[in-house]
Structure formats: C-alpha cells, structure tokens
C-alpha cells in the first residue's frame, strides 16, 4: 500500500498487472533478495483472493518477471579458502580452544580430513550429538601408503552407491592426516558407529565442528564470517590449483563430475596470516 501511495494512483483492472511488474523491478533495483520479494508477492496473492479480485500474481508476465528475478539474484559465495598456512594456524589454536588432549586430537583429525579429503561437512561428521552420521569407524582402512575411506553417500550420490576416498600422507609434517588418524584410532573408544566421537562415545556434531573452527579463526585474528566449514573443501580445490594440478586432478580430489569445481578455486580470496 505504501508503494501504491508513492505512485499516487489507485490501479484498476489491467493496471494492477503493470504496477506489480513495476514493483518487482523496483525491488530488484533496491537489491532486495528474491526470497523476500517472493514472500511479498505471495502475500499479495492472498490479498487478491481475499478481496475477490483476479490473482495477478499468476499472470504470465508477472510469473516471468519473478522467474527472471530468481535467476538474477544469485548471491555470490565469497567464503575464503582454508589454505595450508591457515590450516597450520587452526591446528595450532586447538591447544588453546579444546579442553583435553583427546579433544585436540579429535578436532585435528576432523579438520585434516575435511581439508585433505575435500569433504563436505555432512559427509564427515554427525548432524547432531544424538543423530549419527558422517564417516563410520568401519569405513576407515589404514593401508601401507594411504588412508582408504569409504564414503557411503554424498550430495552427488543420492542413491548410495558409495565411493572410495584416498588420503595420502604428508611426510615429515605434524599435519600428516595418515599419521594423525592412526594416532586417533589408538585412543578412540571401542565400538562401531561414527568415526569421530568424543572420549565418552558421543558423536562429534556439525555444530561443534563449526563452533571450534570459528574460535580458531578468531584466535588467528581473521574475520570469522569470511570462513565456514565449507572453506576446507574450497581450500582443497584452491591449493591443488595453486600447486599446478590440472583440472582433472582437482575434479578427482573433490569428486566433482562437472565444471562446478571452478567456482571452488579462489586464489583471489586467499588471505595470509
């Protein structure tokens, strides 16, 4: 109604359609998100029906305008990558953030696997403390030269065919994922279920992963909102590309089957400590 008052005329008949399209265009110029405008248009649809009027939100041109708006409103993902340097810093912060040596080792394993395995957070840890998920203990095999991880299901494998992910050692580094996982397995409570569990057997949750990571990022003097759990996967692709690995190898590391991987390679967003 404020918008109608601003125009200064009460639209009638087909004029409502034009005004609605103009309203959508104005909101786009103002930078209002497509989700908010979609809610507003849904509210207008209710109002039209309530007043016994024609529902102009279902008009062909209005629907096309909203379709175009949704396509145009793609918020650019500007999350920064976790580089090898930042990974070192994050791991070093764990001694300050965690309450015990076991917790330090637990989160070290989680962060190293997230980076070197280019895992999505849902593939790695449980959804919550009470709901099991992520990698299972029985899906981890320590081979002579690598870790073999069986990924039962992923975003691009909804049918659950499963695939093998191999993570290789970083010789001579305290960030070696293979050596760290072996150390963790020697201390992990006995029993099947999720791989990443606390000393009492409770699942490491997605929330806990993000919360500890955020504390480490703040401890490094970096901006927390610039990073998320997905920054490990972004970092894996970025660092692979920065080290000269070709497209096919980058795709293999992150299990991408399309050009989608290109949006994960973000050398322009790398920040140094």
Q: Which alpha helices (H) appear in 152-230, and where do they start and end?
A: 177-187, 206-219
- Residue 188 confidence (pLDDT): 95
- Superfamily of segment(s) 84-269: Intergrase catalytic core (1.10.443.10)
Q: What is the pLDDT of residues 101-121, one digit of tens each?
A: 999 999 999 999 999 999 999
pLDDT at 104: 97
Closest CA to 243 of 150, 146, 144, 170: 170
Residue with the two structure tokens 């093998």:
164
pLDDT tops 80 at residue 9: no
Give the per-residue pLDDT at 62. Answer: 86
Residues 6+ apart with CB under 8 A from 28: 37, 69, 72, 73
Distance separating alpha carbons of residues 196 and 205, to the nearest angstrom: 9
Residue 145's pLDDT is: 84
Residue found by looking up tokens 């957070």 in the block: 121
Residue 100 confidence (pLDDT) above 70: yes
Calculate what percentage of the chain has a pLDDT beyond 70: 95
Cα–Cα distance, 109 to 128 (Å, whole number): 18
- Render pLDDT for 216-262 as a digit per residue (tens, 0 to 9): 999 999 999 999 999 999 999 999 999 999 899 999 988 888 887 88
The dihedral over CA atoms of 55, 56, 59, 62, expressed in degrees to the nearest 10, equals -140
- pLDDT tens digits, one per residue of 29-70: 777 788 888 888 888 889 888 888 888 888 898 888 888 888
pTM, to two decimals: 0.73
> What's the rounded mean pLDDT across residues 196-201?
94
Half-sphere exposure of 203 (CA within 13 A, CB side): 20
What digits encode the pLDDT tens for the residues 134-152? 999 999 998 878 999 998 8
| Strand 163-167 with 147-151, pairing | antiparallel
- Measured distance CA(230)–CA(246) in Å, rounded: 22
pLDDT of residue 110: 97
pLDDT, residue 223, reads: 95
Question: In the chain, what are the domain boundaries?
Answer: 2-72, 84-269
């Amino acid at each position: 109604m404020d918008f109608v008052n601003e125009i200064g005329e009460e639209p009638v008949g087909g004029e409502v359609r034009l005004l609605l399209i103009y309203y959508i265009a104005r909101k786009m110029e103002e930078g209002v998100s497509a989700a908010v405008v979609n809610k507003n248009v849904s509210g207008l649809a209710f109002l039209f029906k309530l007043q016994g009027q024609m529902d102009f939100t279902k008009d062909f041109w209005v629907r096309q305008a909203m379709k175009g708006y949704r396509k145009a409103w793609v918020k650019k993902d500007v999350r920064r990558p976790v580089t090898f340097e930042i990974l070192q810093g994050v791991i070093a912060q764990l001694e300050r953030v965690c309450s015990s040596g076991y917790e330090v080792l637990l989160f070290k394993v989680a962060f190293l696997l997230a980076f070197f395995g280019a895992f999505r957070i849902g593939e790695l840890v449980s959804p919550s403390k009470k709901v099991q998920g992520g990698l299972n203990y029985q899906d981890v095999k320590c081979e002579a030269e690598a870790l073999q991880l069986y990924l039962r299901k992923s975003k691009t494998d909804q049918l659950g065919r499963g695939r093998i992910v191999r993570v290789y050692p970083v010789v001579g580094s305290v960030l070696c994922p293979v050596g760290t996982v072996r150390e963790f397995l020697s201390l992990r409570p006995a029993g099947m279920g999720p791989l990443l569990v606390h000393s009492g057997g409770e699942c490491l949750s997605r929330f806990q992963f993000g919360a500890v990571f955020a504390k480490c990022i703040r401890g490094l003097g970096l901006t927390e909102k610039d990073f998320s759990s997905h920054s490990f996967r972004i970092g894996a692709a970025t660092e692979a590309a920065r080290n000269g690995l070709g497209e096919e190898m980058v795709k293999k590391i992150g299990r991408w089957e399309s050009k989608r991987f290109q949006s994960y390679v973000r050398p322009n967003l790398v920040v140094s400590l």
